[in-house]
Every structure is written in structure tokens, then in C-alpha cells.
Amino acid sequence: MEIKKIERLGHSASLSKDELWDIYKSMKTQRILEDRLLKMYKGGQLSGAVYPGIGQEASMAGIGTGMKPQDVFGGTHRDLGVQINRGVTLKEIALNFYGKKDGPSKGRDGNSHFGVVDKGTLMVVSPLPDSAPVAVGVALTAQIEDNDVVAVANCGEGATATGTWHESINMAGVHNLPIIFTVQNNQFAYSSPNETEFGTPNVADRGLGYGIESVIIDGNNIYEVINAMHKARNKASSGKGPTLIELVTFRHYGHAGHDPAEYVGDEVRDFWMDRDPVLRFEESLSREELFTEEDFIQLAEKIETEVRETLEWAKDQEDPDPKEEIQDIFETRSIPVATNDGSKTKTMNVIEAITNGLDEAMENNKDVFMMGEDIGAFEGAFKATKGLHEKYGSSRVLDTPISEGAFMGAAVGAALYGKIPIVELQFFDFVYPALDQITTEAAKYFWKAGKPVPMVVRGPTGAGTRSGPFHSISPESLLAHHPGIKVVAPANPYDAKGLLIASINDPNPVMFLEHKKLYRKPDLKMEVPIGLYEVEIGKANIVKDGSDVTLVAWSGMVPTALEAAETINNDGISVEVIDLRSIFPIDEETILKSVEKTSNLVILQEDVPFSSIASEISSFVADKGFWTLDNPIVKVTSPNTHIPFAPVLEDSFIPSVENVIKAIKELQ
Amino acid sequence: MGEIVKMPQLGETVTEGTILRWLVAVGDEVKEDDPILEISTDKVDTEVPSPFSGKVTSLLVEEGETVEVGVGLMELGGDDSTKEEGAKVVEEVIEVELPKEDLTSNIESSKADIVTKAPKDLKLSPIVRKLAGDNNLDLTQVTGTGKNNRITRKDIEVLLKSEPIPSVPEKNPQEENHVSSENDKQKVTSTGSIPRLRKRIAENMILSKQTSAHVMTSVEVDYENISVLRNKIKGEFKKKEGFSLTFLPFISVATINALREFPVVNSSFDLENNTHDLHDFINLGIAVDLNREGLLVGTIKDSDSFNLRGLARKITEVSSILRNKEYGLEDVTGSTFTISNNGSFNSFITSPIINQPNVAILSTESIKKKPVVIESADGSDSIAIRNTGVLSLTWDHRVFDGSTALLFLNSIKDKLENHPWADDLN
């Protein structure tokens, strides 16, 4: 092996001896730790997996060194080196590898899948590079706050093939965010070489496509990395926007502990072994006579011992308690509930109530801001943000590119760092591209990393406007099924504003479903209090008292339910109508109490029946209210198919007043 | 219209029977005398042979149903259209079971002792079952206003507001009070059903108490002579007969002889019909405990024709066939006087219930060594240890009076104490 020398030039020339030693220590610790972990894994002493970044120490330590303490790093499972450099301890790492209770993810995710948000490393997840949109959100917050925080979105070259990476870097370029995109190009994404992942020779070539400056550097030259990062950080923090740094490097081992990496040719391997980043750094430091061989050996021994001892120690630490597993899904509220004496009111329809709620929320708390497509000057596709951009400006009513994945993840990032983002989906049907960020990041942050994500996602739902299958969905069961998300669906102006304020004040992700047919329904105007007030999440409302049949409905179906109840009253059947208001958490108590009174339950929903909210209600009433039932539980829903366009088809699809009356009459 | 097989009368006092199990199904070919079903009366469980040959076209009653004697059970050779309309409903007390499974007609429910009197397709919803159970309602009294005459919750509520509430006899006073709306386990406690034998015994006991004017009287008997004799011969007896010689055969012989002297104690008395039958046969009834699950009286016909040894054999035989459930109708009916052997369960004194249509029942109590005062020939008293025990008679004061009862009882005592029993065993 013939070590290829490196020269300390540029900014790295100004580093002190102590600083250099810290950097070296960080790299050496990574190498020794990962070596040990890999050996343990192969020896069957570790469960799960290891993803050694051995060989990429210079890239990792260099990225870390180029960041200031307040900066935020969003990386991958391979970036233990960066975590170490940023102050994550061996103990924290070891505890997570053993899945221990006191580890950074409390045993809920293993090996290197963790972050220590307080130390500026974002939670590591498996779908990569899912932390990139979150980092974008951090950068967005930094831009709004102007607080000299720079975000780093790091991944491997393979991950740049994803839509997530593309949307993130694109959005960063559009908004000129204080962010650095580092790509550690270690030549192979698992077994796939570069040419299977992108069509340009280098990752850096793509910067042009995003309007972003990009550089390509020797990722195994610690000085080059430090210099490139230094420059990029300065640029970002001075408002000059993002940089794409491609760090060309090589991993000595396979993708994961079990992978022998036979796809790497010998020639390639030899080339890179000559450029071992740790050895190169040692050679340079010795050549400058800053440190000796003895220093290196002593440090190595010290680190070895520390690594072994820490792993031994971690193994014996307390395991998490399975009984506590159901906790930590939702953060509890600390903000006091907004109340209002209701003395001052205004007649509003649903959309007006929502606009009013958004306005008052933003006025009350400067950290509340909005993101979405066409919500700024255009005031939104449904005019929900009417007058808001004019009043609050672009930093608080932000137009995003058509990148639901990126801006949803950005909302998570902003929520983690002190903001309360309200995301508008132009149609809730567009939630699908955002589901990855919602489920992977938003729904899991509090559970996996102990950090709450206070954000609201609002948008129009529902059929009846001849908008076809892609603009008419009822998404509540899709969303409610995933733990970690709250779902609400108001059906009138008063509830719309009250639930919106409650959702904004809730420290957890809330999906706020607005049925588009209710927005401007002529007979659906109410006196809505001026000033903040809340409708409690998780509480249903009995909108009509009755004694013979309980009819549960929500959102767009509530008027249908009320009309059916009115009509059938003439036949002497008294129907109690419950407006669910909250889908998750659901008000079981109110429903059960009503069914106890009436002994009959009809559930009306616009959504398709299979695996739906109506099915869930049927289930818990059949369980907990079994002995109160006089008839089987009835579901009145649309057919289990897609929402059609043709008026005659759509009208037949949506449950009607007649359908409800028929169902009720058949009970006897 | 084919032949109808009717509920037979199995025993003079039998007025109804319960269908235990059908042995044929609709469509089966049946020959005369083939067993077609199993029924249970208060006396006995038995198979019913078919009086006709033919193809089974209709089963008119369900397993578990109780019907009066003479009611149609099955049709042979009729046209296939006659289905279950013929299900006769009897105005009997209904027990509404509240089991977890559906109460709609189900052939499998024959295993349970549910007796439902409702039409075949009755659907009882959870709330209806609960309310019926909580209030002990007789659902035969309820007309359903729901679909297909289903009983709805409203029907129950209407019923509860009306007077009087048609209810069943309280059979489970332990039923929980339901605090409504709690989502934990608040269901009706459904009770176990009463086994047939127990039910029969229960009914008979009550009936007997309501019929006779029960009075109990007793004497103390000195069994020492018998005891000495027993001890002397018991080994040889057991070897020869295969069973042990107890006190019961001695008491039985003495009783039989006393009954000869006092025929009124051996009679049957029917106040309602104004008849008093004096029997010239003595059919001794021996009460046999069936492993604490029930009591049956086994009959030894013409018991006065047996000597001590013969009677001992008979007693053992009867106990055995009763315990092994090998008895027929004649084995458990026709007694004229009954002995209940409580002594074997270590009683001091007992007053059993008269086994109708007897007019008295003798209870033997435990025999133990006790100190007794012996008067010697010279008039002096001394204490001796002797085997003694109480003999109690519960008798029907409608039929005779205390004088008769005590004379009869003392006659038994006298025979037990003074008869040369050794002679009877040679």
C-alpha cells in the first residue's frame, strides 16, 4: 500500500493543533467503534444490523467539523462518524445498538437508526433520504428566523435517485435556503454502481439542474472536506443559498454487516485502500511533526478500551418495559385551552370561519406559519387564505413548489425547531406523495426520538363537485389507521374554527379535513365567536336528540344525516344524530351512551366501507355495547369503488338522504 | 295425512314427558317397534318404539320440549308438505335460558336443558335477552311487533310497564344488578339448568308436602342382640353372599311384620277422590342415594315373601340396579311403604318426606354404643354399654293418628329387640 499524501491548504491550514487532534480523535473513534461493532455482529453478539462507514471517516468528520454547534445534520444509518463528531457519546450509540431503555430511541429502533436532536442530529430512518425534507424545514425555519443555523442534508449517491432527494434539493434551490447538500459518493448503493442510479457522470453535475452551486471533492482528504464545508457554510449563513458537495469516497466493507461486497473489483479496492482517510491524516500529521506514531498508538489503545468497556456496560443496562410501549405516541398539551365568552360573534360560513381561525392563530403566535401551493398572492385554490398573504407576507404564508413530499417533511423540520406549520394540501387527494413523510417522520418523531411535532395539515376532502376520482377522496380511515396522527373533520363553521385552533394548539400532527361541499353551503352559516376558542379534539357532538335510533355521521354527511332524521320524524321514528367531529381519537363514550339509549345504530359515511371508520365504530359498539343492541349495526356508505365523474354516477355513489331513511326503516 | 305417533303414558301418574333425543329424522324409513325417540318422565328415561311402519314425514316436537301425554310427536307416511306447524306449545312454565349462543331454533340445543316455548325462528336480540333475564320475564306472554313478529326492546318495555308482569319463578336470586352503560362485563348471569332428576325430585318433594300432613315420631331401639349376632356371622355371611349384612335387613323384616299388624300404615289415601286403599301386598320401598346427585326409591315387590337373607339380597340388588341406572319403571314404582336409611350417613334423627302415595316413611338412624340403664331381676340398676339407635317414623296425620303411629313403631322396636334373629339366618 502506498499512501497517497494530502496537503493542509486553504482554511484547514488555520486549524490549531488541538482542533486537528479532535478531528483525528473523532475519525479514529469511528473506525475503532465500527470495527468492533462489525466484529461483534459477525460473531452473533449484536441483533439487527450494522452499516459500517469505515473508509469514509474523512467525509464524516469533515462534514461535522464544517458545522457550527447550532447547525443541524440530517443523515443516514452510515453516518455514525458525523454523530460522533457532533458530540454523540459512545454510551448513547451503544445503548441504541442494544435497544436499551435509556438509549436515544428507547429501544424503539436499533443499531444506528437514531438521532440526538438536542445535539443537532436528526432522527435516522430507513427510507432514505427521508431526513432531507426535514433538513429543508430546519433551513426554512432558519431563514424565517434569521438565526445563523445551517442545515446539512447528507446521503449516499444512490439516494439521490429518489423523488425525496430531488424535491428537497429543488425546493432548497427555489427558496434559496441556508442548507448544504452533502452526498458521500462511495461508489455503490448496496450493490448498485453509480451508473444504475443517475445518468450524469457525477452527482455534482446535477446541481446545475437545481440552480445550485456544486463541487466535487476527494472525500478521503480531510482537508478538502473541511475546506469545502467551510466555504459552503459561509455561503449558506450569509443568505447566498445552498451548495451541493459531492464527496467521492469508498466504504471498506459491504453495505451492511452481512454483505461481503463481492461486487467491488480488486482494482477499485486497491485504489481506495491507498487513499485510506485515517492513514492519510496520520501521515500528514506526522509529516508536519504535530504528532508521533506513539501518540496515535496510545490514542488507539485508549479508544479501544473505552469502546469495549462502553459496550460491556451498555449490554447490562435496563431493557425497555413492554408495558410502556403504548405510551409516547402523543405529547400531552401544555398550552392552556383558549376560551372565549362568545359575546362578539360574526356570521360566517365554513371557509370564512377557517380563514378567520388561521388569521387569529397567526396573529396570536408569531411561530404559526403556513405552507402550500398557491396559498400566497393567489389566496389558495379555495380561497382559504384570503387576505392572509397580504397581511403576513411571504415568510408566513409561503408558496411551495409542487412537492408534497418535500414540503410535508419541511413542516416536520420546522415543527421540530420551534415553529407551528400549517400545511395546506390543495386537495386532500394529494396527500399520497406526502404519506412517506407523514408516516415515517411526523407520526414517529415523538415515539422514536422524544421530540413532538406540532403541525397541522389541512385541505379539502369529499365528493359531489363532479371533480372525479382524484379530487374527491374521503381520507379519514387512511390517515387514522397510522398511529401517531390525529384526525379531525368539522361539519359546521363553529366547529371548524374551534377545532382548527385546538389542532394548532395540539403538540402533535393533526390532519384537519374540510369537506369542500360544506365550505360555502348556503344554509350552513353560523354565528362564530371572534377571538380564539377551541372545540376539544376527541369529543363528538349530539346535534339532534332522539330516542329510537342513533345515527353517527361526520363531515359532509352530517347535513344528510340531519335531513334524513327530520324526514323520518314524520313517521314517528326519533333519530339521534351524532356529529363525530374527531375521527382519531374517537369519542366512544358518546356513541355507546347513545346506543344504550336507543338500542339501534346506523353509521353514515361517504368513504368506501371496507376497513373504514364505520367498520371501526361497528366493531367497538358490537364489543362494548353488545348487550344494548336491539338490531344489527347498519353501515350506510358509498359502494367499495372509486369516485366517478359523470353526474349520474357520482350522485349514485354518494350516500343520499333516501339511502339513510331506507336503512333506518329496515330496522325493526 | 299419515299416522301420528303420540306421547305415551309411562306410568299411571305420568302426565307429560320430555323429548330427550330423536333417533330418526325426516325421510327415514321406520318399521314397527323400531325405537324412534328417547323420552324422560318423572319416573324414568326410556325409548319409545314406533307403533307403525312408514316413512317419517314430520317431527312435531323438538328435543328438549316437554309435552302432555297424548300430544302428537311424529308423523309417518304423511305428505311432505306438513312441516313444523304442528309444533304443539304447552301451557307449562317456561324457563328462559340466557345463554351466549343464539336462541333461534337449533337442533344442537338438545344438549342444554333449555325449554323454550317460542316459535322456531324467534330472534332475541341482546337487549331483549338482557331485559328478559333481568326481569325474569316469560317471553311466551310477549307478542313481538318487530319484523316477523320479532320481540323488540319496545315490546319488552311495554310489557314491563303493564300489570301483572308474566314472569317465571325466580330461579337465580344471584343475578347481578346492571349498572348501565359501563363498557365492562355487565351481562346477565345465565344460570345452569336443573338436571331432570333433580327437577323431578324437587317437584315430588313439594307435592308430597302439599299432600300429606307430615308428623314425626320416634323411639329408641336397643340393637345389642342384633349387633352381637351380626358380629358373629358377618364374615361367613359376606363370604357366602358376596355382600355385607347390615342392620337394614333386620329393620326391614321387623317393619314388614309390623305392617301386617297395622295395615293402615301400608295403605294409600286419596282425599280428593274419597278413597282409601288398603293393600294386601307389602311392596317395601328402599330409598337409595345416587352419589349425592339424587334420590330414588327402589321397590321390592311382595317383600313379605322374603326371609331375612332373601330380603338382604333383594335390598342389595335394588340398590345396585338403581345406582347403575339399570332400573326399569317397575323398579321405581309401586311401593306401599318406604324405608330411608339415614343411619348410614350418621344421623341422630331424621324426618324424611313421605314417598307418595305411601302414608308413612321410616327413617333408620345411626346405631352407636351408648350407656344404658339396665334393670336387673332384683330391681337394681346398673349401667351397660349397648348399641342403640333412634328409629323415627314420619307419617300422614290425615290417615291415622299418633296412637297408631306409635303402636306401629313400637311393634318394630319390640321385634328388633326381642325376636330370635339367629333362627332367621339358619
Q: What digits encode the pLDDT tens for the residues A561-591? A: 999 999 999 999 999 999 999 999 999 999 9
Cell numbers that stand for B32 in this block: 314397527
Q: Chain B: residue nearest A624 by CA?
A: B183
Q: Given its phi and psi angles, is residue B327 left (phi above 0), alpha (psi -120 to 50 degrees) or beta?
A: beta
Rounded-to-integer distance, Cα B348 and Cα B216, Å? 14
Instruction: Give the mean pLDDT of A138-144.
Output: 97
Q: Match 372509486 to its residue by C-alpha cell.
A: A642
3-class secondary structure, A370: strand
DSSP strand pairing (A634-636 vs A575-579): unpaired
Nearest Cα neighbor of A261 from A272, A277, A247 is A272
Nearest Cα neighbor of A599 from A557, A634, A643, A641 is A634
* Virtual torsion, Cα B384, B385, B387, B388, nearest 10 deg: 60
Report the Cα A272 to chain-centroid distance in Å. Answer: 37
Which parts of A194-265 fold into alpha helices (H)?
A: 207-210, 222-237
Contacts of residues A31-34 at CB distance under 8 Å and 24 or more positions apart, as own/partner, are A31/A57, A31/A278, A32/A300, A32/A303, A32/A304, A32/A307, A33/A80, A33/A84, A33/A90, A33/A93, A33/A303, A33/A307, A34/A80
CB proximity list for A211: less than 8 A, separation 6 or greater? A173
Report the residue from B125, B183, B188 with minimal CB separation from A630.
Answer: B125
Instruction: Give the mean pLDDT of A295-313.
Output: 97
Rounded-to-integer distance, Cα B63 and Cα B65, Å? 6
pLDDT surpassing 50 at residue B95: no
Q: What is the mean pLDDT of chain A?
A: 96
Q: What residues of A are in contact with residue B128 (Cβ under 8 Å)?
A: 630
Predicted local confidence at residue B5, as pLDDT: 84
Tell me the shortest Cα–Cα distance from B247 to chain A, in angstroms: 59
pLDDT band at B184 (very low <50, low <70, confident <90, very high): low
Predicted local confidence at residue B426, as pLDDT: 72
ipTM reported for the complex surpasses 0.90: no
Rounded-to-integer distance, Cα A178 and Cα A34, Å? 32
Predicted local confidence at residue B12, as pLDDT: 60
Do residues A222 and A184 lie in contact, with contact meaning Cβ atoms separated by under 8 Å? no
Phi, psi of A477 (to 5 degrees): -75, -35
Q: What residues of B are in contact with residue A599 (Cβ under 8 Å)?
A: 125, 127, 153
Q: Which residues of A touch B (CB under 8 A)?
A: 588, 592-593, 596, 599, 624-631, 668
Q: What residues of A are in contact with residue B150 (Cβ under 8 Å)?
A: 668
Rounded-to-integer distance, Cα A604 and Cα A552, Å? 6
DSSP state of A422: E
pLDDT surpassing 70 at residue A541: yes
DSSP string computed for A474-522: --HHHHHTSTT-EEE---SHHHHHHHHHHHHHSSS-EEEEEETTTTT-T
Q: Chain B: residue nearest A628 by CA?
A: B127
Q: What digits encode the pLDDT tens for the residues A145-156? A: 999 999 999 999
Predicted local confidence at residue A534, as pLDDT: 97
Q: Does the beta-carbon distance from B152 to A668 stay under 8 Å?
A: yes
- Burial class (CB within 10 angstroms; exposed 0-12, middle 13-18, buried 19+) of B58: buried
Predicted local confidence at residue B97, as pLDDT: 40
Q: What residues of A are in contact with residue B127 (Cβ under 8 Å)?
A: 599, 627-630
Q: Does the beta-carbon distance from A668 to B147 stay under 8 Å?
A: yes
Widest CA span of chain A, in angstroms?
Answer: 99
pLDDT band at B420 (very low <50, low <70, confident <90, very high): very high
DSSP state of B137: B
Q: Does the beta-carbon distance from A627 to B152 stay under 8 Å?
A: no
Cell numbers that stand for A579 in this block: 356529529
The pLDDT > 70 percentage for chain A reads 100
DSSP strand pairing (B360-375 vs B381-396): antiparallel
pLDDT surpassing 90 at residue A235: yes
Chain B interface, best mutation among A631, A664, A667, by max B CB count within 10 A: A631
Residue B186 CA: distances (Å) to CA of A594, B132, B181 = 17, 15, 9
Q: Chain B: residue nearest A588 by CA?
A: B183
Q: Does the beta-carbon distance from B181 to A592 stay under 8 Å?
A: yes
Rounded-to-integer distance, Cα A442 and Cα A412, Å? 6
Neighbours of A22 (CB within 10 A): 15
Q: Does the beta-carbon distance from A629 to B186 stay under 8 Å?
A: no
Locate the DSSP E strands across A379-490.
Answer: 397-399, 420-424, 456-461, 486-488
Tell me the shortest Cα–Cα distance from A587 to chain B, in angstroms: 13
Q: Does the beta-carbon distance from B125 to A668 stay under 8 Å?
A: no
Cell numbers that stand for A202 in this block: 457525477
Predicted local confidence at residue B79, as pLDDT: 64
Report the residue from A588, A592, A629 with minimal CB separation from B126.
Answer: A629
Q: Does the beta-carbon distance from B130 to A627 stay under 8 Å?
A: yes
The pLDDT > 70 percentage for chain B reads 82
Do residues A411 and A421 lie in contact, with contact meaning Cβ atoms separated by under 8 Å? yes
3-class secondary structure, A664: helix
Instruction: Give the mean pLDDT of A355-366.
Output: 98
Which parts of B212-247 fold into alpha helices (H)?
A: 224-241
Rounded-to-integer distance, Cα A122 and Cα A134, Å? 8
Q: What residues of A are in contact with residue B181 (Cβ under 8 Å)?
A: 592-593, 596, 628
Q: Which residues of B touch A (CB under 8 A)?
A: 125-130, 146-147, 150, 152-153, 180-181, 183, 186-188
CA end-to-end distance (rounded Å), chain B: 67
Q: What digits encode the pLDDT tens for the residues A164-195? A: 999 999 999 999 999 999 999 998 998 898 98
Do residues A232 and A244 lie in contact, with contact meaning Cβ atoms separated by under 8 Å? no
Rounded-to-integer distance, Cα A91 and Cα A308, Å? 11
Q: Match 325466580 to its residue by C-alpha cell.
A: B170
- Burial class (CB within 10 angstroms; exposed 0-12, middle 13-18, buried 19+) of B366: middle
- Burial class (CB within 10 angstroms; exposed 0-12, middle 13-18, buried 19+) of B375: exposed
Report the residue from A588, A592, A629 with minimal CB separation from B125.
Answer: A629
- Burial class (CB within 10 angstroms; exposed 0-12, middle 13-18, buried 19+) of B210: exposed
Number of inter-chain CB pairs under 8 A, A vs B: 37
DSSP string computed for A18-61: HHHHHHHHHHHHHHHHHHHHHHHHHTT-SSS-----TT-HHHHH
Comparing A85-94, A256-265, A319-328, B162-171, which segment has the lowest mean pLDDT? B162-171
CB proximity list for A435: less than 8 A, separation 6 or greater? none
CA angle, B174 as apex, B172 and B178 as ends, to 5°?
110
Q: Chain B: residue nearest A599 by CA?
A: B127
Predicted local confidence at residue B163, as pLDDT: 59
Q: Match 409561503 to its residue by C-alpha cell.
A: A398
Do residues B76 and B56 lie in contact, with contact meaning Cβ atoms separated by under 8 Å? yes
Report the residue from B127, B147, B183 with minimal CB separation from A599.
Answer: B127
Do residues A507 and A454 lie in contact, with contact meaning Cβ atoms separated by under 8 Å? yes
Q: Does the beta-carbon distance from A628 to B127 stay under 8 Å?
A: yes
Tell me the shortest Cα–Cα distance from B138 to chain A, in angstroms: 18
- Burial class (CB within 10 angstroms; exposed 0-12, middle 13-18, buried 19+) of B13: middle
Q: What residues of A are in contact with residue B183 (Cβ under 8 Å)?
A: 588, 592, 624-625
Q: Chain A: residue nearest B125 by CA?
A: A630
Q: Does the beta-carbon distance from A596 to B181 stay under 8 Å?
A: yes
B357 preceded by a cis bond (ω within 30 of 0): yes
Predicted local confidence at residue B323, as pLDDT: 87
Q: Does the beta-carbon distance from B153 to A599 stay under 8 Å?
A: yes
List beta partners, residue B389. B221, B367
Rounded-to-integer distance, Cα B405 and Cα B218, Å? 9
Rounded-to-integer distance, Cα B253 and Cα B246, Å? 12
Residues of A tagged active-site:
471
Instruction: Give the mean pLDDT of B359-382.
Output: 93
Tell me the shortest Cα–Cα distance from A629 to chain B, in angstroms: 5
Tell me the shortest Cα–Cα distance from A612 to chain B, in angstroms: 23
Q: Chain A: residue nearest B146 by CA?
A: A668
Candidates B138, B401, B423, B424; catalytic one: B401
DSSP strand pairing (A526-529 vs A345-348): antiparallel
3-class secondary structure, B94: coil
Rounded-to-integer distance, Cα B389 and Cα B369, Å? 9
Do residues A550 and A600 lie in contact, with contact meaning Cβ atoms separated by under 8 Å? yes
List beta partners, residue B297. B287
Do residues B273 and B279 lie in contact, with contact meaning Cβ atoms separated by under 8 Å? no
Q: Does the beta-carbon distance from A599 to B130 stay under 8 Å?
A: no
DSSP strand pairing (B35-40 vs B45-49): antiparallel
Contacts of residues B294-297 at CB distance under 8 Å and 24 or more positions apart, as own/partner, are B294/B195, B294/B197, B294/B198, B294/B201, B295/B201, B296/B322, B296/B327, B296/B332, B297/B332, B297/B335, B297/B338, B297/B355
Q: Chain B: residue nearest A631 by CA?
A: B125
Rounded-to-integer distance, Cα A504 and Cα A357, Å? 10
Rounded-to-integer distance, Cα B194 and Cα B203, Å? 12
Rounded-to-integer distance, Cα B400 and Cα B269, Å? 10
Q: Does the beta-carbon distance from B130 to A630 stay under 8 Å?
A: no
Instruction: Give the mean pLDDT of A385-395.
Output: 97
Rounded-to-integer distance, Cα B146 and Cα B154, Å? 9
Q: Chain B: residue nearest A626 by CA?
A: B126
Report the residue from A596, A630, A631 with minimal CB separation from B180.
Answer: A596
Tell me the shortest Cα–Cα distance from A593 to chain B, in angstroms: 6
Instruction: Give the mean pLDDT of B319-327.
Output: 87
Rounded-to-integer distance, Cα A103 and Cα A92, Å? 6
Q: What is the mean pLDDT of chain B?
A: 82
